[in-house]
Amino acid sequence: RVRGVPERSDWLTYHHHTMLKLFILVVFYSATSCYKFYDGYKIVRVNVGSADDHQGILHLESEDLLSLLSESRSGKADVLISPKSLATCQEYFQSRGMEFSVITANVGAEIRKDRKRLYSTTPLQKGEFSYDKYHRLQVIYEHLDAWQKNTARTQRPST
């Protein structure tokens, strides 16, 4: 063995651990970067007066400048716009005479506020149900099934 030069097995172990650490770092980064933050995002209601206006909104969406959230038959579209794209979208709307207004000024702040409210409420006991609380879909189905059975028992056919 030469002094200062690691043996082959030590070298492999060292590089194996280094690669494992790098792999864990990449996996951790991938997992945490999947979550999207909406700080500064705005929900904007745009008056869509024509088919050309509608096509313009779809074009902006295809360019990843906004996301179309909803459309109404009354000629309005709600869109989600990132802080990076806001000026471009506003210029586009103004240049075409499309009226718009901000519905939600900071989507990220609203999400945090809603999440805080959800986490701070006291949980319901098993079997309890409230229409102003969040429930898993299965719990809602169970509640509706029980309600249907209860209603069927109380309503007897008249003869």
Please tell me the pTM assigned to this model. 0.57
Give per-residue pLDDT as tens, 7-25. 555 555 655 567 677 767 6
Measured distance CA(102)–CA(145) in Å, rounded = 41
Show Cβ contacts of residue 49 under 8 Å, excluding neighbours closer than 6 positions. Answer: 75, 98
Selection from 43, 52, 42 nearest residue 98 by Cα: 52
* Alpha-carbon torsion, ordered 21, 26, 31, 36, to 10 deg: 140
Which H or E run contains 107?
helix 107-120
Q: Which residue has the tokens 């506003």?
A: 90
Full pLDDT tens readout for the chain, 159 residues: 555 555 555 555 655 567 677 767 666 665 555 567 889 999 999 999 999 999 999 999 999 999 999 888 889 999 999 999 999 999 999 999 999 999 999 999 988 888 777 666 666 667 777 776 777 788 888 888 888 888 776 665 655
Strand-pairing partners, residue 47, are 76
